[in-house]
């Protein structure tokens, strides 16, 4: 079985080298839009007839991705022809460039920003708080059409600093041919019968784990064990990562420990998941290559569905579908979603124009453009039909949409990088069967809690 529990394998994401080039694109926006909030007569979508040309600077995620994402600009230009959107040049990632610009006092007007970076930048006081403008333009933006989890990607401590850029659910993905060969029901069929739960995951993985006469092992499941892989297991077992205000780590509470123990047992006790050097063999990286040529050994693995971000569509050369999140002890199924947004910087030189750009980027028109490039799945409920009929990736997009509607966003914190380091180090022996999950999680909590107080 192909098990994809939120966020595709680390080897597939964000490992390529970016080289941003300076790009200036003529785009339309109206500087009168936000001025209207102060008494002007213009609407939020119609620039004044005598609007003067203005340039906004947008810090992109990366040059390669902007080649696709930038296709929203011509459509924006038709509506707001007097604004030029100029991208920030960079030799590295977009967030690294943004931090350099902030330190130098040369902040752009707008920027792409992953949810994992938002808290730290917001805590620096570098982001514009947009709640007043979002509330004012909510109906015109059809804000209710956007997945709730997607809005969380631009929210910190109850304040919104931008509009959603992408919302990527991390879901199980499975190979139909392996299931057919073993005469095992697809996870989607099990879900339709109300039988797709944690017990079914183990049973399915067992049935798909085999050893040939020559001793060649085929595993039933590929399980990621990084922080993004832990969240959905913990949530669906009734646990939480943090307390409400994220000042205390709760990962050593019984529900969380039990969830991680289940993951541990899949690897160490039941041996339906590859361990150590066995792991990751069949995952293809962003360049399309296969590691260790172990495609025949592994049936299932975790995968971040993002249409283009993880490049599964350009890499997968086998039949696959996505499956729903399996039911745990929680009353409701809780998928995990990672996301990013476009934010407005506090020191923006042209905030009105920047806001118009952010709104358009979040529109249904932009949604369709971006989906057609393969760079994102839907961000809006009204975009689901187009995605299912025109993009068809995955083939059963209805499951993806159902999960995206109820998914929770990555529960990030300002000390995200430190949290990642601590969690990875303390949990590594767990996945090798060399340390009890409870002992490791106690140590994670001990080290992380002081970081949450800063």
Per-residue pLDDT tens for 251-262? 999 999 999 999
Evaluate if residue 317 carries a pLDDT over 80.
Answer: no
pLDDT digits (tens, 9 = 90+) for 71-107: 999 999 999 999 999 998 666 678 889 999 999 999 9
Helix, strand, or coil (residue 32): helix
Q: What is the mean pLDDT of residues 417-429?
A: 96
pLDDT digits (tens, 9 = 90+) for 277-294: 775 444 333 223 333 333
| pLDDT score at 454 | 81
Structure tokens at 363: 């529109």
Q: Return the higher-pLDDT residue of 30 and 434.
A: 434
Helix, strand, or coil (residue 124): coil
E strand intervals along 150-304: 155-156, 159-160, 162-171, 173-175, 210-211, 217-218, 303-304
Chain length of the chain: 454
Q: Which of these ranges, 73-77, 398-402, 417-421, has the smallest mean pLDDT? A: 398-402
Evaluate if residue 34 carries a pLDDT over 60.
Answer: no
Report DSSP letters for 395-425, one per residue: TTHHHHHHHHHHPEEP---TTHHHHHHHHHH
| pLDDT score at 190 | 96
Evaluate if residue 16 carries a pLDDT over 80.
Answer: no
| pLDDT score at 50 | 60
pTM for the model stands at 0.84
Q: Which residues, listed in sequence order, are joined to residue 112 by a DSSP beta bridge?
A: 342
Evaluate if residue 439 carries a pLDDT over 90.
Answer: yes
Listed residue (394, 366, 390) closest to 380, CA to CA: 366
Listed residue (303, 352, 323) closest to 7, CA to CA: 303
pLDDT digits (tens, 9 = 90+) for 319-353: 678 889 999 999 999 999 989 999 999 999 999 99
| pLDDT score at 47 | 52
Q: What is the mean pLDDT of residues 36-59?
A: 62
pLDDT digits (tens, 9 = 90+) for 151-200: 999 999 999 999 999 988 888 888 888 889 889 999 999 999 999 999 99
Q: Return the higher-pLDDT residue of 219 and 414.
A: 414
- Mean pLDDT, the chain, as a whole number? 82
Contact (CB, 8 A) for 188 and 323: yes
Residue 225 pLDDT level (bands cut at 50, 70, 90):
confident
Evaluate if residue 298 carries a pLDDT over 60.
Answer: no
Evaluate if residue 447 carries a pLDDT over 60.
Answer: yes
Q: Return the higher-pLDDT residue of 76 and 225.
A: 76
C-alpha pair distances (Å), 333 with each of 105, 305, 367: 45, 18, 26
| pLDDT score at 91 | 62
Q: Is the dihedral of CA 273, 274, 275, 279 positive or negative?
A: negative
Q: Which residues, listed in sequence order, are joined to residue 171 by a DSSP beta bridge?
A: 303
| pLDDT score at 141 | 96
Task: Give the helix/strand (H/E) hosting 139.
Answer: helix 131-141
As a whole number of angstroms, the distance between CA 139 and CA 137 comes to 6
Q: Return the higher-pLDDT residue of 396 and 369.
A: 369
Q: What is the mean pLDDT of residues 106-135?
A: 96
Q: Which of these ranges, 12-16, 63-67, 397-401, has the smallest mean pLDDT? A: 12-16
| pLDDT score at 290 | 37
Q: Which of these ranges, 43-47, 139-143, 216-220, 417-421, has the smallest mean pLDDT? A: 43-47
Which domains occur in the chain, in start order?
24-169+338-394 (3.40.190.10), 174-337+412-452 (3.40.190.10)
Q: Return the higher-pLDDT residue of 449 and 22.
A: 449
| pLDDT score at 90 | 60
As a whole number of angstroms, the distance between CA 300 and CA 281 comes to 11
């Amino acid at each position: 079985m192909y098990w994809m529990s939120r966020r595709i394998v680390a080897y597939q994401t964000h490992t390529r080298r970016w080289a941003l080039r300076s790009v200036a694109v003529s785009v339309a926006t109206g500087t009168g839009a936000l001025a209207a909030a102060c008494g002007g007569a213009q609407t939020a979508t119609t620039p004044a007839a005598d609007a003067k040309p203005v340039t906004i600077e947008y810090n992109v995620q990366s040059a390669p991705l902007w080649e696709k994402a930038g296709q929203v600009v011509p459509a924006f230009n038709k509506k707001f022809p007097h604004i030029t959107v100029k991208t920030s040049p960079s030799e590295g990632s977009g967030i690294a460039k943004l931090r350099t610009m902030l330190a130098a006092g040369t902040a752009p007007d707008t920027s792409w920003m992953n949810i994992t970076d938002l808290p730290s930048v917001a805590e620096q006081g570098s982001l514009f708080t947009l709640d007043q403008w979002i509330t004012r333009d909510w109906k015109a933006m059809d804000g209710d059409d956007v997945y709730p989890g997607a809005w969380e990607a631009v929210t910190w401590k109850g304040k919104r600093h931008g509009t959603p850029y992408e919302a990527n659910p991390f879901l199980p993905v499975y190979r139909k041919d392996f299931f057919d060969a073993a005469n095992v029901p697809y996870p989607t069929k099990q879900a339709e019968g109300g039988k797709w739960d944690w017990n079914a995951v183990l049973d399915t993985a067992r049935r798909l784990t085999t050893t040939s006469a020559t001793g060649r092992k085929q595993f039933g499941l590929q399980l990621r064990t990084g922080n993004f892989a832990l969240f959905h297991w913990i949530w669906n077992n009734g646990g939480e990562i943090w307390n409400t205000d994220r000042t205390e780590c709760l990962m050593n509470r019984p529900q969380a420990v039990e969830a991680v123990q289940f993951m541990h047992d899949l690897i160490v006790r039941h041996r339906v998941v590859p361990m150590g050097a066995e792991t990751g063999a069949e995952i293809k990286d962003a360049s399309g290559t296969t590691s260790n040529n172990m495609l025949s050994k592994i049936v299932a693995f975790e995968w971040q569905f993002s249409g283009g971000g993880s490049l599964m569509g350009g890499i997968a050369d086998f039949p696959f579908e996505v499956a729903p999140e399996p039911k745990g002890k929680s009353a409701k199924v809780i998928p995990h979603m990672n996301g990013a947004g476009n934010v407005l910087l506090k020191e923006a030189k042209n905030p009105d124009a920047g806001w118009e750009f952010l709104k358009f980027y979040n529109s249904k028109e932009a949604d369709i453009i971006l989906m057609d490039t393969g760079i994102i799945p839907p961000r809006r409920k009204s975009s689901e039909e187009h995605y299912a009929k025109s993009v068809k990736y995955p083939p059963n997009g209805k499951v993806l949409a159902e999960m995206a509607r109820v998914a929770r966003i990555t529960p990030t914190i300002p000390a995200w990088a430190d949290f990642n380091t601590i969690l990875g180090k303390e949990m590594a022996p767990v996945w090798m069967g060399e340390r009890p999950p409870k002992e490791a999680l106690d140590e994670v909590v001990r080290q992380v809690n002081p970081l949450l107080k800063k």
